Amino acid sequence: MTKERVCANSRAMSRRTLLTALPVAGASLAMPSTVLSAQPVDRHAMWHAQFNHVRDLWAVQDQDSQEAETLWAIGDQYEKLICKTVAQTKEGLRAQMEFLVEHGQEFWGMDVHKSLAQNVLRGLSE
């Protein structure tokens, strides 16, 4: 087998070069470029909007009803997601801070609000 130079502009490619390049080509084809260059996306703003919506629905229910209890439990799940998930973007941090200002004023002693403050600080320092 002759040794030929492999050039990007040349049609000639040795078998060795082809076999060396195949795994890299396969990996790049298996992973779309959007996955490789995707920017982080935070769901905090969506969770905050859902939390507010559920609490608005809860406010018009009979407080002793099963519906009110279910809505409160759903709101609690959104609250945990907002407070315990570290934000990766400024939009996520902003949503966490908005949540803290709107809903944490009277409850600074709760664990989820402490977690929120720690996550905001961690996100800002990275």
Amino acid at 112: V
What residue type is assigned to position 44 of the chain?
Answer: H
Q: Higher pLDDT residue, 94 or 115?
A: 94
Query: The whole model's pTM is what?
Result: 0.59
Q: pLDDT for 37-59, tens place per residue?
A: 578 889 999 999 999 999 999 99
Rg value, the chain, Cα: 26
- What letter would DSSP give residue 107? -
Q: What is the mean pLDDT of residues 33-37?
A: 50
Upper half-sphere CA count for residue 102 (Cβ side, 13 Å): 14
Domain boundaries, the chain: 1-38, 44-125
> Which pLDDT tens digit goes with each residue over 52-110?
999 999 999 998 999 999 999 999 999 999 999 999 988 898 888 888 877 766 666 77
Integer Cα distance of 89 and 123 in angstroms: 8
